[in-house]
Amino acid sequence: MIIILCAPSGSGKSTMVKHLLETYPGQYELSISATTRAPRGQEQHGKEYYFISREEFEQHIANQDFIEYEQVYEGLYYGTLKSEIERIQNAGRTIVFDIDVKGGLNLKRIFGDEALAIFIAPPSVEELSRRLHGRGDTSEDMIQKRLAKAEIEMADAPYFDKIVVNDDLAKAKNELDKLIQFTIWQCTIYNWCTILLFDNLLHSNMTKDELKERFRQFSLRIIKLVNNMPNTIAGN
Ligand code: ADP
Ligand code: 5GP
């Protein structure tokens, strides 16, 4: 499974990613993007980002090495290398993307049902501004650019699978955990049921069309079952 976390800058995406990685060690791995922006504070090459030059980034574009990339802010490129996805999938871990809204929706289109796309929303633009100023690692000019972009990004929130409002941090973390665990559980049920059904059907004397119809009906029953689960399990 793939988890896509998107939010306007300053909403608390990095805080959420850190929470997932620390609370479930070995289960999730962050996809490290390449960027042409300079490292901030204690950021290190290969940890927060692959910090590369504009020339190197453009060479990767020419080689079609990116699954997606954006000029997130004027003159600053950010992109996900295909090799990064392979690296995490080969390690058998769930990939977590911390990516801008446009890039996140592009990835959702590519991965479809394999991905859970979550929008982390700030409680308000005023609070977003407070958090960006409070972080103290971005120039005033960049903060204003991020706030202007945030208003546009908020309009895309309904296109995500789920929205988590990051007001009270503990509550937001808990909501995110439940949401992800529920989706993993849902996928596991689907996979097990499919295996069980095929195993049963392969040992029967049904025709191909009968098999198809039986599978369709079975899938519909599973979907109904999952949709009718109590909200407390779904964490909503
Ligand atoms: P992003 O990765 O989306 O840019 P960060 O995770 O860096 O955002 O969070 C921005 C700032 O807001 C950080 O200083 C972080 O500690 C703070 N923050 C995150 N979530 C909350 C919250 N629920 N309440 C108050 N401050 C928060
Ligand atoms: P920052 O400069 O604050 O680290 O990140 C700026 C924005 O770029 C954030 O919204 C972040 O999620 C986004 N971003 C980081 N990596 C990628 C990426 O690979 N692709 C895209 N489209 N956006 C990214």
| 31-40 per-position pLDDT tens digit | 999 999 999 8
Contact 226, 233 (CB under 8 A): no
Looking at residue 204, what is its pLDDT?
78
CA 11 / ligand 1 centre spacing (Å): 6
Q: What is the pLDDT of residues 197-218, one digit of tens each?
A: 777 777 778 787 887 787 788 7
Contact 12, 123 (CB under 8 A): no
CA 185 / ligand 2 centre spacing (Å): 29
Contact 54, 76 (CB under 8 A): no
Q: What is the pLDDT of residues 56-108, one digit of tens each?
A: 999 999 999 999 999 988 889 999 999 999 999 999 899 999 998 999 999 99
pLDDT at 160 over 90: yes
Closest by CA to 58, choosing from 47, 49, 66, is 66
**Residues within 6 Å of ligand 1 by CB:** 7, 9-15, 131, 134-135, 166, 169, 172
Position 236 confidence tier, pLDDT thresholds 50, 70, 90: very low
CA 191/CA 42 separation, integer angstroms? 42
- Burial classification of residue 72, based on how many CB atoms lie within 10 Å of its CB (0-12 exposed, 13-18 middle, 19 or more buried): buried
Q: Is the CB of 57 under 6 A from ligand 2?
A: no
Looking at residue 6, what is its pLDDT?
96
What is the SS3 assignment for 32?
coil
Closest by CA to 95, choosing from 75, 111, 119, is 111
141 Cα distance to chain centroid:
28
pLDDT at 232 over 50: no
Query: For residue 147, what are its two tokens?
Result: 């706030």
Q: Ligand 1, atom 5: nearest CA belongs to which residue?
A: 12
Cβ contacts of 79 within 8 Å, gap of 6 or more: 33, 34, 35, 57, 60, 61, 66, 68, 69, 70
Angle (CA) 162 150 120, round 5°: 25
**CA atoms 197, 201, 207, 210: torsion sign:** negative
Residue 9 alpha carbon, nearest atom of ligand 2: 10
CA distances 210 to 116, 160, 205, Å, are: 33, 37, 10
CA 78 / ligand 2 centre spacing (Å): 6
Q: Ligand 1, atom 23: nearest CA belongs to which residue?
A: 169
Tell me, yes or no, if the pTM score tops 0.75: yes
CA 70 / ligand 2 centre spacing (Å): 8
Percentage of residues of the chain with pLDDT beyond 70: 95
Position 234 confidence tier, pLDDT thresholds 50, 70, 90: very low
